Structure formats: C-alpha cells, structure tokens
Amino acid sequence: MLLATGAPAVAAPAPGPAPLTIAAAADLKYVLDSLLTIFNRQHPAAKVSVVYGSSGRFYEQISHGAPFDIFFSADGDYPLRLQRAGLTAGAPQPYALGRLVLWSKKLDPNAKGLNTLLDPRVQRIALANPAHAPYGRRAEEVLRHYQLYDRVKPKLVLGENIGQAAQYAATGAADVGLLAYSLALSPELRRAGRFYLIPAAAHQPLQQRYVLLKQAQGNATAAAFAAFVASPVARQAMKKYGFSL
C-alpha cells in the first residue's frame, strides 16, 4: 500500500533545446562569429558551438560519422557528395561566393598585383593546402592562370586551412599570403597589412554551400539557424565580409 507523504509533487524541468554543433570552413571565422552573436541574442536558450577548419577535412570526418549538425563548406561540391551518400537531412543550399586576395604585412600588393610574388623580398608565400582546402585549390589556379606557379612553387608555404595560411602571413612566417577576402576584411588583418583583390576570372568560382546533416533531424535550433542564415541580417553581414551570392 502506498502512503501519502504530504509532499507536493515536483515537475521535472522541461528539457532545453538540443545543442547545435557546426563544422565551418575557416574563411567564415569572423562573419560566422558575428552572426552567432546576433543569433544567440534572438535565441538565448540555444547552445551553439562551431569548429573551424578545412572543408575537405570536414568532409572526410563527416563521411566517417563525425557528430556535426550543419556543415558550411567553402567548396559546394562536398555537401552535394554527402547528400548523394545519404548523410544529409536536406538539400545543400548555396550561401556565398568567395573571393581571393593577395595580402601582405610588409608590401603593398596593389602596386604590382600578382607580380608582387616576383619581388625578391618575397621568400615565402602562404596558401591553404590545395589537397583538401578549396581556397588552396583556387590559389593554385590563380598562380597557373598568371603563369607564376612554376616560378614561385619553391616559396609556397602550405597551411592546413585558409585560417592557418592567414596566420602565417599575419605573423610574418610568410611574406605574403593568398587568402580569403573575408579574412582580409577582418579587423585584425585590415589593421596589420594591405591586400590586392584578385580578379574572379582568374579562378573557378568559390561557390559555397551549407547542409543540415542527418544528426540535425528534429533539431529545432539547427532549423532556426538555417533560416537565420537566409535572413536579410545574415546576408548583410556576409556582404560586409566580402561574400556575394
């Protein structure tokens, strides 16, 4: 027989929203951080974490079961491949077109454009690793377009991703860097150096896409963030950091 204790029943606290984990290309570091500040004000209960890195590495990790909810790729092909493999919760969506710049802490690349790379003071040229970083592949295309690749190949210093390439250039570990326009527009790099915006015709388009992954099914925060990325506020922030759509 059950005896009444007289103690009032206490309801269990309602569970909060599921956390959201984002894998994002390193070129998004500054713009996505600013967008998350806005999103968190609009959704104070949301718990969002972001890991920045190379799109190719994230593709490999997600293909092998890495627990991400959304993948923002600098190469739009990776999300499409994940969709074909049945690893997504929806169709990949374009969110930006990226651009490349030649950035230097020591020199003014605007004076000679890509010919700055032939300056004898340039001994180390930073770029992302073309093997798995989309910006690295496009940087290599730029060098070949201007028939500079063979002449500067011994000077190339490869970063794991475009963020690390920017770090090499900003710290002086490299004399110049072929970097993402979005990173060159960050407060840190704008203060530290100068850049030359490389013509878009010098490389294949950097069509960037994001996709909700299988793990995000039923995650209301993931759905809300995907809708937020398409909002006018987010589009304006993307434009501020040099992205177009």
Query: Is the pLDDT confidence value at 236 over 50?
Result: yes
| pLDDT at site 13 | 42
Enter the DSSP assignment of 237.
Answer: H
Sheet containing 156-159, strands listed edge to edge, beginning at the edge strand earlier in sequence: 156-159, 125-128, 176-180, 100-104, 194-197
Q: How many CA atoms lie within 13 A of 56 on its CB side?
A: 13
Domains observed in the chain: 20-97+206-240 (3.40.190.10), 99-202 (3.40.190.10)
pLDDT tens-digit map of 57-91: 999 999 999 999 999 999 999 999 999 999 999 99
Please say if the pLDDT value at position 2 is more than 90: no
pLDDT band, very low/low/confident/very high, at 16 (cuts 50, 70, 90): low
β 100-104/70-73 pair status: unpaired
Using DSSP, state whether 241 is helix, strand or coil.
Answer: coil
Q: What is the CA radius of gyration of the chain?
A: 22
Question: What's phi and psi for 23, nearest 5 deg?
Answer: -100, 120
**What DSSP state is assigned to residue 94?**
E
d(CA 94, CA 73): 10
Global confidence as pTM: 0.89
